[in-house]
Structures are given as C-alpha cells and as structure tokens.
Structure 1
Amino acid sequence: MAHTATPPAVDHRGPVTGRERALAPDLIRGAMLLLIALANAANFAYAGAPGVSGNPHGLERIFNLLKLTLVDARAYPVFGVMFGYGLVQLARRQRNSGASVGVVRSILLKRHLWMIGFGVVHATLLYFGDFLGAYGIIGIACTLVLLNRGDKFHRIVLVIWALQLVYVVGAGARALFAALGSSGPAVGITNSPNPSLAADSWASALVDRLHEYPAHTAFVTGLIVVVWLGMWAARQQILEHPEAHKTLLTRVAVTGLAITVLGGLPLGLVGAGWLHVDHAAVSAFEMLAQVSGQFGGPGYVALFGLIVAKLLKTRRADQLGTPLTAISALGQRSMSGYLFQSICWTLLLAPYGLHLGERFGTPAFITAACAVAVWTISVVAAYTMKQHNYRGPAETLLRRLVYNR
C-alpha cells in the first residue's frame, strides 16, 4: 500500500508579503518620517537639541514655534506606537500560518537582537540619536513579558496611560505657577550641545558618539509604555479596520493632539520670542513639553487612521493615486528611509560635511529645506522600489538575517 508523506510542520511562514499589508500603518510611517527629518536635521544644523535658534528673527519665529509645538518629543512616540503595532501584527501572521508560540518568540527575539545590532552600527557611524537599538531592547522585553498575555492583562496599559495624563496635568499646573511667578531675567531657548554633532572630523565624532549613544538609548527605552499601547491597539486591529473604530479614533485624535499641542505651546512661544519668562519657568515649560509629547504618538496615529478611513470610503487601497501610494511605499521601507536620512544629514549638515547651515548662515531655513528635500527624495526612491518589487536595502538585509533567506 502506498503511503502519502506527511508534510512537515510549519516552523515559520517567512516575511509578510506586500498584498497583506494594511494601508494605515504604512501611510503613518511614511508621512511621519518628514517630522523625524525636521527634528534630526535641526539637531545636526544646531549641533544639539532642541535644534532651534535662541535669537530668532522673522520667519525663524514661525519655524521655532511649529517645531517645538508639533515636532519635538512628538514624532518619535508615533514610531513607538507603530513599533508595538507591528510586533503584534508579525506575531499574528506567524501564528495564523501554523507556527508555534515558541517559534514565534524565537523569530521576534532574533529580529530584535538584529535591530540592536543595526542600531549600534547606525549610532557608531552616523548619529548617536539612534532609535533602532532602543526599539530592539524594548521589543525583547515586550516579546518575553507582554506578547502572550490576555486582553484583560493588556488593559493595564490604559490605566497607566490615564495615570500619565494625571502627571501631565500636574506638569501643566507647575508650568502655569512658574510662569505666573516669573520674576527673574527673561531667558530664551538654549540648545544642549552634543559634541559628536559639533566635532570637526568624522573620527572624533565617532568617539563622541560612543559616549553619547548609551545614555540616549537608556532614555528612549522609556517609550515601552507607548509601545505597549500600540500592542493593545493592534490586538483590536484598529488600523486594519479604521472605519469600524471611527468613534475611538476621533476621541484619541482630538484628546491626544490637544494635549500635545497645548503642552508644547508655552515652550514654542518662548522659542519664538513671543513669551518672556525666567529660567525656572522655561525649565517647567521644557518638562511639560516633554511629557505631553507622548500623547502626540496616539494622537497622530489616530488622525491618520481617520484619514485612511475617509480615503477607503470612496476608493480601494490600490487606487489612492501616486502621492499617497508613494508615501505608503516609504512607510513599507521606513528603516531604509530613516537610515538614508542620517547619511544625508552627515553629508549636508555636519561640520566635516558640507555644513550648509553654517555656510549659509540660516540654519532654520536650511534645516527645513534639507528635511523636505531628503524626505521627498526618499518618497520617490521608495515608490521606484515598489514599482520594481524591491523591499529596500535595510529591510532586505534584516529579513535575510532573521529568516535565513
């Protein structure tokens, strides 16, 4: 009697294909890379954070106001939310293909370990302000501690988020009292210098980056709550079906963006030179801007979710037009786009590069021009890659390392 061979059990299903991707996460990542570009280009141009002129004039005032209110400490939490969202999506696809819990955990741990490696290389060679390594560390913690928990456990993050709102309200009250009691000499925004960004040679900058990167990474790992919030949202499949969650998305967008804008506005007005308070008040404004910025993550994500819901109401995902398709293509290649930006800032803005901000004497305008230009180039490049069915260099390498393919 002939025997039919039993097919081997599935160990894992490999990386996700393009047709399986949801539109909203990719569109969010692609669009928000513009804000990341504005933030990081400014850090290079001013050799420190927050990357604004301490004595603004004319349109520099507008630049400072918008950057401090809408970008700083507000763009990277978006990627924290999306990192958590993507982690759950990846695990779900593997499980749906028949992979065991142990195999899924192994794949995720391997992926996050390689992300730490990518981050170390990025921070050493290009920019100390790397997020890949920190996300790798957070990813390992989330995989081991959070991923396989039930819905009831994951609701804890909503309680934590509510408590964080209480903390923001307290920070706002302290900032208000500090402003009302301001009696010392008025001060403006001062950039905290980063030696690696002011170094006059790549070699000396590399040495400085080795000292700066660990502290920055330790700071960024505090985003684990934001990442956990993204995991909760992914378990509800909110961005796969934004039209079914419009009420929730509307509430989160309005609340999150209101908190993040109001929290950043006092510092933005100081940066623009339109509000004059003493050092104690400015310090209180900086704290408020930092803690309220976390709410920009879910706020921006919810806003884009609503935009996608409106788009999909009148057209299919493959009929969005070239601009939105191109931005979404960049979102699919966000790691390559992010690393490409660091290469550009090094070449265009570093003292041992073209140093355009100092050469033209208008860092704010050079920052904005470089950020928009580099982001636009990356969008065009991503769209071209999509047309040729190419993942992107960083994504291709990471997938080969993780899946051995």
Structure 2
Amino acid sequence: MTTTPQLTVAAPGTDHRGPVSRRERALAPDLIRGAMLLLIGLANSANFAFAGQPGVESSPHGFERVLNFLKLTFVDARAYPVFAVMFGYGLVQLARRQRAAGATTSAVRRILLKRNAWLIAFGGVHASLLYFGDFLGAYGVVGIVCTLFLVNRGDKFHRIALVIWAAMAVEVLVVAGLAVLAVGNSSGPVQALTNSPNPSLAATSYVAGLADRLHEYPTHLSSVLPFIVIVWLGIWAARKQLLENPATHRALLTRVAAGCLGITVAGGLPLAFVGAGWLHVDESAIGALNLLSHTSGMFGGPGYVALFGLLVARIQNRRSLPITAISALGQRSLSGYLFQSVAWMALLAPFTLDLRFGSTAYTAALVAIGVWIASVVGAYAMSRRSYRGPAETLLRRLVY
C-alpha cells in the first residue's frame, strides 16, 4: 500500500526547509544510486589495481577475457553517466521540495548554489587525499551552472536537451562508421589494449601519490565537465517526474531503456572484443574503437536509469530485504562513494596492503564486489538506526 508523501512546511521566519525526510523519498532514485555504486566500484577498483585506465588485463587468459569483455561492455564510460542523470534529477527534486515548503526563488537558488559550492570543496579534498578521478567537484561546478541557467527554465526550453541527445545519437552513428573503416583498414602491427598509466595510483608512498594527485585532478576535472549535457537530461526527466511515478511512464521508460542500452552496448562491443583478445587490430583502430566506446557510453546513463525505473514499477509494493538495503545505500551514496576510495587506498595501494596478487583482474573484481556488499550492509545498519550517513550529515549541516 502506498502512502502520500508529506511535505514539511518551513518554520515561520525562514525562507527554506531542511533536508528531505525518509518518508518523502521515491524508491527508484535511491535504488539506482545504490545499485550503480557497484559499477562505479568495478571501474575504480580496477583503475587502482592496474594503476591506470581503463583498468583491464592487457594479456588476458581464461576468465580474464570474460572480465575484460564485461567491464568494457557494461561498465567503463557507462557507470558515471548514470550518476550524472541522477544528479540533474536531484537538483530539480531539491528545488521542488524547497518551493513546496514556501521558499522564495532566491532562497532556492541560494541553497542550490551553497550545496554545489560545498560539493566542489568535497571534491577537492577527495581528489587530493584519496583519488584523482573524483566527480564530486565536477558535479559542483556543473550544478552551479545548471542552477544559474537551467533549473528555472520552462518546459519548452528543456526540449533542447532532447534535440542535443538526438544529435548525439547521430554522432555515434558517424563515429561507428569511422570505426568500421579503421578496423577494415587495420594493417599495422597488432596492438593489445593497454592501460594509460596514472602516476598517483602507482606511487610507492602516500606523499608521492598526493603530489601526483594534485597534478592529475585539474586535468581530470576539465575533461569531465562536458557531462553537463547528461545532467540536463536528468533535469528534463525530473520535471516529468519519471522516477516518482515509473508505472505511469512505463512505455517511455521501455523505449529509453531499449534504445539507449542498445546504443551503449553495441558501441562498447568492438572495444570489448579487443580487450578480451578476440579481435586483433592495430593502434589506429583501437583509437577509433575507444572513441566509439566513450561516445556511446553516455547513453548508458539514461538507459540504466530507465531500466531501473521499469524494475521499480514492478516491485514498488513488494520491497525485499536486498532492495531495501541497496536503497539504503542509495540514500547514502555520497558516503558510499567516499568509502570506496578509502577502501581502494587501504586495500590496493602499493604502500598499504597491496592486495594485487595472482590475477589482478580477479582481485579488482572481487575487492569491488566485497567493498560494495560491505557498504550495503553498513548503509542498511545506518538506516535501521535512522542515521543519514557521515558525509550526508556533514553536507546537510554545512548547507542548512
């Protein structure tokens, strides 16, 4: 049996309300964030284990071929766009709750700007101390831009996002055509898929890694800022409340899931075959296939989100313990994300436990799954005690 969300009214003399209560939360966004942290973990743990990107075994044997294939098809360049969509969705949800509580337009903007400014700070600390591949700072920068120029626009304006995505689909087709030509013309020496090294991940001391991270982070930050287009799609979806009422939008979600996941999987398969050692091409062709993989990977964001929306439409009124626990992690996704970086540093860095033994691909996958399960259990325990999570608690105190 469903209940009608209760909106908290701002107290007299205030122009905003506090953070969202547990009763107000929709299942789909939390389940998506919690589940997709597993894919984020599989990507980032492999980067730590191989001290480079994309974090695959260059000379795979046996089941390593399958691991490379699955990672390149379903994870790499496909996990982070999900969180970009959900970030845009969350911006609209936060603004809507504030307005429903009586906050003025200027107050809503002030809260959003303050929250995103703190995300930039969180990202800078995270990237400096733990992992250069931070996305929190980029979310903060993009969130400020969206707050100033996108969040308060009308529906007609936001249709531009759909036009952009249609153009991106055409771009994928063009890149795919170029990739086919590159593979067909592949005549140079056969090149295996290798990892681009990241000095901070290979550093033999924490101080050396810290210095490297300070150099690597600005470059990484600037390279991921274009995901504002993905965030914009999340803003459009939130205005339509697609995830609050997934059953009502089942037809649209089905089309998005089928179309976007079809694009992202098809675009990732050629590079996955190379990574698995089942397709042999030269260096030029690998570059073309890598571009195709990343270009098509953006469609994994809306594709995975729509898929989970359809799942929630089926299980909305019969939540099992695993669904509840994973959703609890989604409610604490900021803490879960930062916990992963602490775990990679403690378990995989050369100057800590350095658990990279035997097959590095196996180790990375097992560590990622183990850390994710531990975070699900921990989040569920926090939920049982009505504790929001350390990072969420700190951020909300700073913002509110």
Q: TM-score scaled by structure 2? A: 0.97
1:336 maps onto 2:340 in alignment: no
Matches of 2:266 and 2:12 in 1, distance apart? 57
1:242 counterpart residue number: 246
The answer to whether 1:17 aligns with 2:21 is yes
Which amino acid in 1 is paired with 2:395? L
Aligned to 1:191: 195
- Give the counterpart of 1:368 among 343, 361, 365: 365
Partners in 2 of 1:161 and 1:14 — Cα distance?
A: 35
Residue 377, structure 1, aligned to residue 374, structure 2: yes
Equivalence for 1:101: 105
Distance in structure 2 (CA, Å) of the matches to 1:129 and 1:377:
22
Q: Give the alignment of 1:114-125 within 5 angstroms.
A: 114-125=118-129
Aligned residues of 1:77 and 1:294 also touching (Cα < 8 A): yes
> How many Å separate the matches in 2 of 1:44 and 1:350?
7
Alignment of 1:391 with 2:388, yes or no, is: yes
Q: Residue 333 of structure 1: CA displacement?
A: 0.1
What code does the residue aligned with 1:174 have? L
How many residues align? The count is: 390
Distance 1:320 1:157 in 2: 34
Name the amino acid aligned to 1:116: I
Q: 2:259 aligns with which of 255, 258, 262?
A: 255
Distance 1:8 1:95 in 2: 15
Q: Which residue of 2 aligns with 1:223?
A: 227
| 2:278 is the alignment partner of 1:274 | yes
Equivalent residues in 2 for 1:207-218, closer than 5 Å = 207-218=211-222
> Counterpart of 1:12 in 2: which secondary structure?
coil
Per-residue deviation, residues 306-352 of structure 1 (Å, max 9, x unmatched): 0000112xxx2xx4121100000000000000000000000100111
**In 1, Cα distance between equivalents of 2:220 and 2:252:** 33
Q: Residue by residue, what CA displacement relative to the aligned partner does 1:205-263 show, whole Å, maximum 9, x if unpaired?
A: 00000000001111111100000000000000000000000110000000100100010
Q: Note if 1:151 corresponds to 2:148.
A: no
Matches within 5 A, 1:18-97: 18-97=22-101
Query: Counterpart in 2 of 1:356?
Result: 355
Give CA deviations for 1:153-211 in whole Å, capped at 9, x if unaligned.
Answer: 00000000100111111000000011111111111111000000000000000000000
Stretches of structure 1 lacking an aligned partner (at least 5 in a row)? 1-6
Aligned to 2:324: 325
| Matched-pair identity in % | 66
| Conservation of the 8 A alpha-carbon contact between 1:168 and 1:288 | yes
Matching residue's letter, 2:327:
S
Aligned partners of 1:379, 1:161: CA distance in 2, in Å?
33
Name the SS for the 1:182 alignment partner.
coil
Distance 1:181 1:333 in 2: 49
Separation (CA, whole Å) in 2 of partners of 1:152 and 1:320: 37
Structure-2 residue corresponding to 1:4: none
For 1:80, the aligned partner's letter is A
Question: Shift of residue 9 of structure 1?
Answer: 4.7
Q: Quick one: distance in 2 between partners of 1:235 and 1:386?
A: 28
* Matched residue type, 2:333: S
The CA distance in 1 between the partners of 2:334 and 2:351, in whole Å, is 25
Q: Which residue of 2 aligns with 1:3?
A: none
Question: Which residue of structure 2 lines up, in the alignment, with residue 170 of structure 1?
Answer: 174
Distance in 2 (alpha carbons) for counterparts of 1:102 and 1:208: 40
User: Residue 10 of structure 1 contacts residue 98 of structure 1 at CA under 8 Å; is this kept in 2?
Assistant: no
Taking the aligned partners of 1:153 and 1:178, their CA distance within structure 2 comes to 39
Give the secondary-structure state (helix, strand or coil) at the position aligned to 1:148. coil
Structure 1 runs of 4+ aligned residues shifted over 6 Å read none
SS of alignment partner, residue 249 of structure 2: helix
- The structural deviation recorded for 1:113 is 0.3
In the TM superposition, residue 8 of structure 1 has moved relative to its aligned partner by: 3.6
Paired with 1:240 and 1:133, the residues of 2 have a C-alpha distance of 27
Alignment-mate amino acid for residue 161 of structure 1:
W
Cα RMSD, aligned residues only: 0.8
User: What secondary structure is seen at the aligned counterpart in 2 of 1:242?
Assistant: coil
